[in-house]
Chain A
Amino acid sequence: MTRSDRIVHTLSYIVLLAFAFIVLLPFYFMVITSLKESNAAFYVNPFLPGRPTFANYVDAWIKGKLWRYFSNSVVFSSCSVSGVLIFSITGGYALARTQIRGRNAILLLFLGTLMLPAQITVIPLFKLFARWHMLNTYIGLIIPYVAGGIAFSSFILRGFFLSLPRELGDAGRIDGCTDMDVFFRIMLPLSLPGIATVALFNFIGVWGEFFLALIFISVDSMKPITYGVFSFTEQYQTNWPGLTAGYTIAVVPSILVFLLTQKFFVQGVMAGALKG
C-alpha cells in the first residue's frame, strides 16, 4: 500500500465513524433516557443510564396507552399490506403477461398517480369518508393506504413478472394448464422475492405514516402509533424518560423488520428510485 492509500484509508474510517456517530446519536440518547428513573437523573449524568429501569416502558405502554396505538398500527399495517398485495400482484401480472387492451394506458395512468402529492387527494377523500361515516374507523384509513400503494406496487411486481421467462408459462400450457393455473402454480411462487419486497416496503411505509392518520383519525383510541406518540408528546411534555420510551417502542418494529430483511428492502428502494 502506498502512503497516500494509507492516508485515504485512515481518513475514510474517520469519516465513516463520524457519520455513524451522527446517525446513531439520537438513538443512543433516546434509549438511554428511556431507561432513566426521572428527569432529575439526566442532570446527574446525561450520558449514562444511572440506575436503568424499565418502568418508563411499562408506564408508556399502560398509562400512556401505547398498547392501543401499537395494536392499531399492527392492524393498519397488516391489513394495508395484505390489501395492496392482493391488488398489486394480480394487477402487476395483468399488466405484465396478459393481453388486455389498454395495458399501456393503465400503466401510464398508474405511473401518473405517483406524481400526486398526498395533499391533493386528501381533502376530497376526507369529505367523502366523512359523509360515509368512515372516519375514525380501521377501514377508513386502510382504504387510502391501499389505494395509494397499488400503483407503485403494481409497477414493481410487473417488473418482476416480466423477468420470469415466458417459456415457463408455455410449458405449463402444453401440459394442460389454464392461464389461472399458470399464474397460481408457476408464476406466483416464483415471484415471492418480488412480493416480499413489495410487502416490506408497504409495511415500513404504513407503519411510519402520519399525515393521513392525522386527517382521517381524530379519536384517541384509533390512532396509529406515530400519531399516538405525537399526541402523547403534547400531553406529557417534559416527561422525557416516558416519551423516549414511547419513541423507542414506535421505532423498534421498523428497525427490526429492516434488519431482518435488508436485502429485499434495499432492492425495493433501488427499484423504485431507478424506475425512470
Chain B
Amino acid sequence: MGSTSLAGRPALKQGRRFSWRVLDVRQGKAMGYFFIVPSLIMVTVFVIYPVIQSFYWSFTNWTGFGEAKWVGLDNYIFIFRNHEPLEWLWHNVVFATLYTSTVIVVGLTLALILNQPLIARNTFRTIYFIPYVIPGMISALVWNFMLTPQFDPLDALFRAIGLGQFWQPWLGNAYTAFYVAIFITVWSNIGFSMVLYLAGLQNIPQDLYDAANVDGANRVQRIIRITIPLLRPITLVILILSIIGSMKIFEVIWGLTHGIQRPPMEVIGTAIYRVGFGFNKVGQASALSVVLFAIIFVLTIIQLQLTRSGEAIEY
C-alpha cells in the first residue's frame, strides 16, 4: 500500500510511521537536484558572478591592465556631475518617450482594426510581425540603405509620388538620424505590440459592448470607455518592456553610425561599449552599466507594483 497522494507525499497506512515509499520522495528530490544544479551552475558562473564583478569594478579605476585601484564612488559622481553621461541618459529618455508612445498607439490601432472580421486578417498579422523576427542589426542596415544620400530608394519613391520636396538627407544630420533610429525600432516592434493587444482584445467579453450599445454608446465611446481601460494591464506590460528596451538599445544606433561616434546619437548602451572596450576604462564602464541596471531594476519594481495594485479589475 502507501500509494502516493496528490501532494506528492506518500500516504501511509494508519499507524505506520515509516514506509519504504519515502524513498520515492527522496528519489524525486535527487532527480530534482540533478536536474537543476547544472542550470544553477551555468547561471551563477556566467551571469551572477560577472554581475558581482561589474559591481566591484565600478568602484575602481581599472583599465583592464595592471592594478585596480579602489576609488569609491568617484565613477558614479563623475557620471552624475558631467554633462556627457547625462546627455547619453537624456537621449535614452527621449528615445523611451517617443518610442513607447508610438509603439503603443500604433499597436493598439492595428489590433483594434484587426479585431474585426476582415478578409486576409491573418496575412496582415503575419506581415506586421516579420520585422520583429529579423536581426535588429539587419533592420538598421536595410533602413540605412533606404536612406542613403545618392542612392536613396526612399527619395526616389517620394519623388515618384510627387512628394519630392519633403525629402531631406535624414541620416546626414545626427539629430534627425536619432529619430530615424526610433522609427526603425518602432517599425521592428509594431508586430509585438499589436499581437499583445490582440490577445487582450479577445479577452474582453462581448456583453460589455452589448450593454453599452443598449445604453446608446457609439463606436468611439465604446473604445474609449470600455476597451482602453480594460487593456490597461497589457498597456502596462508594453509600456515597461518598451521603456526598458529603450534603455538598452545598442544595435540600431550602431548599425546607423557604423560604430562611429556621433554625439547626438550616443546612448548609454553604446557609451558603455565605447568606454569599456574602446577606451578600456573598465571601471567607468562598469559604473555606467550598474547605473543602467539600477534604472531597469527600479522600472521593473514599479511595474510589479502597478500590476499588483491593478489586479482588482472586475468585469
A54 close to chain B: CB less than 8 A: no
In the assembled complex, which residues on chain B have CB atoms less than 8 Å from the CB atom of A74? none
Across the interface, A276 reaches (CB within 8 A) one of B143, B192, B304, namely B304
Within the complex, the shortest CB–CB distance from A119 to chain B, in Å, comes to 4
Residue of B nearest to A22 (CB): B187
B156 close to chain A: CB less than 8 A: yes
User: CA A4 – CA B218 in complex, angstroms?
Assistant: 11
User: CA A54 – CA B204 in complex, angstroms?
Assistant: 50
Within the complex, the shortest CB–CB distance from B119 to chain A, in Å, comes to 9
User: CA A207 – CA B137 in complex, angstroms?
Assistant: 11
A99 close to chain B: CB less than 8 A: yes
- Inter-chain contact B130/A233, CB cutoff 8 Å: no
A120 close to chain B: CB less than 8 A: yes
- Specify the main secondary structure of chain B where it touches its partner: helix
- Inter-chain contact A211/B251, CB cutoff 8 Å: yes
A185 close to chain B: CB less than 8 A: no
The verdict on A150 contacting B39 (CB below 8 Å), with A30-B142, A238-B151 known, is yes
B273 close to chain A: CB less than 8 A: yes
User: CA A238 – CA B285 in complex, angstroms?
Assistant: 34
In the assembled complex, which residues on chain A have CB atoms less than 8 Å from the CB atom of B105? none
- Inter-chain contact A87/B39, CB cutoff 8 Å: yes
- Inter-chain contact A170/B6, CB cutoff 8 Å: yes
- Inter-chain contact B113/A147, CB cutoff 8 Å: no
B32 close to chain A: CB less than 8 A: yes
In the assembled complex, which residues on chain B have CB atoms less than 8 Å from the CB atom of A19? 106, 110, 128, 190
A78 close to chain B: CB less than 8 A: no
Task: Name A105-134 residues within 8 Å CB distance of B.
Answer: 106, 109-110, 113, 115-128
The verdict on A173 contacting B134 (CB below 8 Å), with A15-B109, A90-B38, A119-B292 known, is no
A219 close to chain B: CB less than 8 A: no
User: CA A240 – CA B147 in complex, angstroms?
Assistant: 12
- Inter-chain contact A123/B134, CB cutoff 8 Å: no
Across the interface, B24 reaches (CB within 8 A) one of A13, A24, A93, A179, namely A179
User: CA A126 – CA B39 in complex, angstroms?
Assistant: 21
- Inter-chain contact B29/A150, CB cutoff 8 Å: no
- Inter-chain contact B196/A100, CB cutoff 8 Å: no
User: CA A258 – CA B192 in complex, angstroms?
Assistant: 13
Across the interface, A113 reaches (CB within 8 A) one of B47, B192, B304, namely B47
User: CA A119 – CA B129 in complex, angstroms?
Assistant: 27
A250 close to chain B: CB less than 8 A: yes
Residue of A nearest to B255 (CB): A230
In the assembled complex, which residues on chain A have CB atoms less than 8 Å from the CB atom of B151? 39, 42, 238, 240
- Inter-chain contact B196/A254, CB cutoff 8 Å: no
Task: Name A222-276 residues within 8 Å CB distance of B.
Answer: 225-227, 229-230, 233-234, 238, 240, 243-244, 247, 250-251, 254-255, 257-259, 262, 265-266, 269-270, 273-274, 276
The verdict on A120 contacting B39 (CB below 8 Å), with A23-B187, A100-B33, A270-B199 known, is no
- Inter-chain contact B133/A255, CB cutoff 8 Å: yes
User: CA A240 – CA B254 in complex, angstroms?
Assistant: 19
In the assembled complex, which residues on chain B have CB atoms less than 8 Å from the CB atom of A147? 42-43, 45-47
In the assembled complex, which residues on chain A have CB atoms less than 8 Å from the CB atom of B116? 9, 12
A164 close to chain B: CB less than 8 A: no
- Scoring B residues 31 to 74 as 1 if CB is less than 8 Å from chain A, else 0, what string do you get? 11111101110110111111101100100000010000000000
Segment with Cβ contacts to A, from B83-91, B95-103, B171-179, B293-301: B293-301
User: CA A209 – CA B160 in complex, angstroms?
Assistant: 36
- Inter-chain contact B237/A273, CB cutoff 8 Å: yes
- Specify the main secondary structure of chain A where it touches its partner: helix
- Inter-chain contact B145/A243, CB cutoff 8 Å: yes
The verdict on A230 contacting B43 (CB below 8 Å), with A106-B36, A124-B54, A170-B6 known, is no
In the assembled complex, which residues on chain A have CB atoms less than 8 Å from the CB atom of B303? 276
Task: Name B102-121 residues within 8 Å CB distance of A.
Answer: 106, 109-110, 113-114, 116, 118
User: CA A11 – CA B8 in complex, angstroms?
Assistant: 58
- Inter-chain contact A183/B31, CB cutoff 8 Å: yes
- Inter-chain contact A121/B128, CB cutoff 8 Å: no
- Scoring B residues 229 to 265 as 1 if CB is less than 8 Å from chain A, else 0, what string do you get? 0000010011001000001101100110010000000
User: CA A237 – CA B200 in complex, angstroms?
Assistant: 45
The verdict on A230 contacting B49 (CB below 8 Å), with A15-B109, A23-B127 known, is no
- Inter-chain contact A121/B54, CB cutoff 8 Å: yes
- Scoring B residues 259 to 301 as 1 if CB is less than 8 Å from chain A, else 0, what string do you get? 0000000001100110011000010011011101100110010
B168 close to chain A: CB less than 8 A: no
- Inter-chain contact B135/A226, CB cutoff 8 Å: yes
Across the interface, B289 reaches (CB within 8 A) one of A16, A120, A207, A243, namely A120
Across the interface, A4 reaches (CB within 8 A) one of B219, B251, B289, B307, namely B219
B27 close to chain A: CB less than 8 A: yes
Residue of A nearest to B184 (CB): A26
B124 close to chain A: CB less than 8 A: yes
Residue of A nearest to B148 (CB): A240
- Inter-chain contact B153/A124, CB cutoff 8 Å: no
Identify 17 residue pairs between A and B in the complex whose beta-carbon atoms are under 8 Å apart, listed by A's number: A23-B127, A26-B145, A29-B142, A91-B40, A93-B35, A94-B33, A99-B8, A100-B33, A106-B36, A117-B269, A121-B47, A121-B50, A123-B50, A123-B282, A173-B24, A230-B137, A247-B145
> 4 new A-B pairs (CB below 8 Å) besides A39-B151, A269-B195, A276-B307?
A25-B146, A46-B156, A100-B29, A209-B135
The 8 A-B pairs at the shortest CB distance, nearest first, are namely A98-B32, A208-B135, A147-B46, A124-B50, A91-B39, A100-B32, A90-B35, A94-B35
